[in-house]
Amino acid sequence: MIVAARPDANTHTAPVPRDRPRRLRRSEAIRRLVRETRLDPEMFVAPIFVRPGTGVRDPIASLPGHDRVSADEAVRDAERLAELGVGGVILFGLPASKDEEGSGAWIAEGIVQQALRRLRDRDLPLALIADTCLCEYTSHGHCGPLTGDGRVANDAALELLARTAVAQAAAGADVVAPSAMMDGQVAAIRDGLDQAGFTETAIMAYAAKAASAFYGPFREAADSTPAFGDRRGYQMDPANGRESRREVALDVAEGADIILIKPAMPQLDLVAAARERYDLPIAAYQVSGEFAMLVAAAERGWLDGRRAMLESVTGIVRAGAGIVITYAAADLASWLRDEAR
């Protein structure tokens, strides 16, 4: 509100504002006191890429600071994340061999299952989440077995995804995270888990996973680039918000315990819409391309990397996410700890 100054024949006085929001911005102490959105390391989930071997650290060129690691090294990384107060890890597997069905995803000695058992034995204060998909394990790189004309066979994939989820739960996963975007995958996995006696294993559904240009570094990290075609036949068209909201509603109806939106930055409207409509926990994935572009710009001196990363994740949380999967989890937790001192 603006209050007009008393007129004076000899002077001209500018209007004086009655409302002064800047009062609450004038010092760092006041800004901290009135801050609406607060980050906590416990809301972060760190991706870990697990490969066969022992003592293996294979740097990922497009994800600076990240490696493909053997199961023993994954435990080392998880211990550091736990010490920083990070809330959880999500495991992606790079199998020793691949086949048309992706059987490495559900075998008892699958690479993610090996890592889960090691992590469970350590009893770390971390939520153990397993990515439940087949694309890293199939020889063709798609998220399910193929029909004769090269399309993904949706219903055949459901049985294999459920089998994978059961194997991951048996190995110690607290949460399975189906990311294949197959119709009916949450219901099939819930039924499979319950029949196998894993009624307490939660499902974090990749409910609105777009066919995004921001996945490039991940595909290098997970060796999951399709051998032909792309995934636009089953992942979401980034232009379709209403259809994405329908996908979320279907996963909620099928029994999802947590809803995940991916990628986060281009779909903050979907994060906000899910938060407004549902009482379930809402997660968002700051994907590899989002992370990598900020790191690359910081390396070139084009922006302050620390401030930009914190601002980006704050925006995701402000939109409504209570869980953020991010490659910056360790850095963010360290920065927040520094600020709290």
Active site residue 98: no
> Per-residue confidence at 249, pLDDT binned at 50, 70, 90?
very high
Residue 299 has which token pair?
């390396």
Annotated catalytic residue: which of 262, 265, 283, 321?
A: 262
**CB burial string 254-291: b at 16+ within 10 A, e below:** bbbbbbbbbbbbbbbebbbbbbeebebbbbbbbbbbbb
Q: How far apart are CA 186 and CA 158, in angstroms?
A: 9
Q: How far apart are CA 165 and CA 178, in angstroms?
A: 8
> Per-residue confidence at 4, pLDDT binned at 50, 70, 90?
low
Confirm or reject CATH 3.20.20.70 for domain 38-259, answering yes or no.
yes
Q: Residues 71-125: pLDDT tens digits? A: 999 999 999 999 999 999 999 999 999 998 999 999 999 999 999 999 999 999 9
Q: How far apart are CA 210 and CA 213, in angstroms?
A: 9
Annotated catalytic residue: which of 68, 163, 190, 209?
A: 209
Tell me how far the alpha carbon of residue 230 is from its chain's centroid.
Answer: 21
Whole-prediction pTM value?
Answer: 0.93
| Angle at which helices 268-277 and 241-254 cross, to 10° | 40
Give the percent of the chain with pLDDT over 90.
81
> Per-residue confidence at 227, pLDDT binned at 50, 70, 90?
confident
